[in-house]
Homo-oligomer: A and B are copies of this chain.
Amino acid sequence: MTPEAAGSPAFEQVMQAVAREVEDTLDALLPPVPGPQGRVVAAMRYACLGGGKRLRPFLLVSSAAMFDVPAATARRAAAAVEMIHCYSLVHDDLPAMDDSDLRRGRPTVHCAFDDATAVLAGDGLLTEAFAVLADARTAAKEAVRLRLIAGLARASGMAGMVGGQMIDLSAERDRLDLAGITRLQALKTGALITFSCVAGAILGEAGPEDSAALVGYAGDLGLAFQIVDDLLDVEGDVASIGKPTGQDSAAGKATFVALLGVEEARRKAGELCERAVRRLDRFGPRAGPLERAARFVCERRS
Residue ranges of A at the interface with B (Cβ–Cβ < 8 Å): 33, 35-37, 39-41, 44, 87, 91, 94-97, 114-120, 122-124, 126-128, 130-131, 134-135, 142-143, 145-146, 149-150, 153-154, 156-159, 162-167, 169-173, 187
Residue of B nearest to A88 (CB): B123
B130 touches A37 (CB 8 A): no
Given contacts A36-B173, A146-B134, A163-B37, contact A126 B128 (CB under 8 A): no
Q: Within the complex, which residue of B37, B87, B114, B130 is in contact with A187, where a contact is CB–CB below 8 Å?
A: B37
Is the beta-carbon distance between B134 and A170 smaller than 8 angstroms? no
A162 touches B123 (CB 8 A): yes
Tell me whether A37 and B167 are in contact (CB under 8 A). Answer: yes
Assuming A91-B123, A96-B116, A187-B37, is B166 touching A153 (CB within 8 A)? Answer: no
The complex places the Cα of A113 from the Cα of B126 at a distance, in Å, of 23
Kindly list chain B residues whose C-beta atoms are within 8 Å of the C-beta of A123: 87, 91, 122-123, 126, 162
Please state if A166 and B37 are interface contacts (CB–CB under 8 Å): yes
Among B44, B162, B173, which residue has its beta carbon within 8 angstroms of that of A158? B44
Say how many copies of this protein the assembly contains. 2
Q: Assess the B172–A36 pair: CB atoms within 8 A.
A: yes
In angstroms, Cα B103 to Cα A143, docked, is 40
Name the one of B153, B164, B165, B167 contacting A130, with C-beta atoms under 8 angstroms.
Answer: B153
Task: Give the docked Cα–Cα distance between A44 and B162 (Å).
Answer: 11
Q: A135: which B residues are within 8 A, CB to CB?
A: 150
Taking a contact as CB atoms under 8 Å apart, the answer to whether B146 and A142 are in contact is yes
Residues of chain B lying within 8 A (CB to CB) of residue A91: 119-120, 123
Task: List B contacts of A120 (CB < 8 A).
Answer: 91, 162, 165-166, 169
| Leading 3 A-B pairs by shortest Cβ distance | A96-B115, A131-B153, A37-B163
List, in ascending order, chain B residues with CB within 8 A of A172's CB.
36
For the complex, give the distance between the alpha carbons of A102 and B55 in Å: 42
Do B94 and A119 touch (CB < 8 A)? yes
Contact of A37 (CB < 8 Å), options: B33, B37, B87, B164: B164
**Contact call B158/A117, Cβ cutoff below 8 A:** no
Q: A96-B119, A120-B162 are in contact. List 5 more A-B contacts (CB 8 A).
A: A36-B171, A116-B169, A127-B156, A127-B162, A128-B158
Given contacts A40-B166, A120-B165, contact A130 B142 (CB under 8 A): no
Write out the residue numbers on chain B whose beta carbons fall within 8 Å of the beta carbon of A33: 158-159, 163
Report yes or no: B97 in contact with A116, Cβ–Cβ below 8 A: yes
